[in-house]
Amino acid sequence: MSDNIETVPDDGPVLDESGHFHAVDAPIDISHYGWEDWFTFVVFWLLALDVFYQFFTRYVLQDSAAWTEEIARYLLIVIVFVGASMGVRRNTHIDVEFL
């Protein structure tokens, strides 16, 4: 951490007498995210845009684009498989033990 960052104790007031804030947010560290995380993030938003486009064409324009369902299915499959590799990398899969 840098020496020029002021921190306020948790029990101290956040506002001073003139109404100025004195709270400082902690720095954000995104260095622990791998390429799988960013790839999954992008594919997820592509999936969201695809589903929104499907909704828009089906209910607003009353003429559904047929390709959107297939693209959404494939994007969801990509998210599942890349998400599974992220779970292996982080060792966060669900464990079931039989006694």
Residue-number span of the structural domain to which 69 is assigned: 35-90
Residue 41 is assigned to a structural domain of this protein:
yes
Asked whether residue 65 is assigned to any structural domain, the reply reads yes
What pLDDT, on a 0 to 100 scale, did the predictor assign at position 74? Answer: 97
Q: Is residue 75 assigned to a domain?
A: yes
Averaged pLDDT, 92-97: 82
| pLDDT given for residue 17 in this prediction | 75
- Is 16 within a domain? no
- Give dist(CA 87, CA 63) in Å, integer: 39
Q: Is the dihedral of CA 28, 31, 33, 39 positive or negative?
A: positive
Query: Has residue 8 been placed in a domain?
Result: no
Q: pLDDT tens digits for 23-75?
A: 777 888 888 888 888 999 999 999 999 999 999 999 999 998 889 999 999 99
Write down the pLDDT at residue 8.
47
Q: What pTM does this model have?
A: 0.67
Give me the residues paired with residue 21 across strands.
Answer: 15
Domain count, the chain: 1
Residue 14 lies in a domain: no
Q: Is residue 1 part of a domain?
A: no
Q: Which has more pLDDT, 64 or 19?
A: 64
**74, part of any domain:** yes
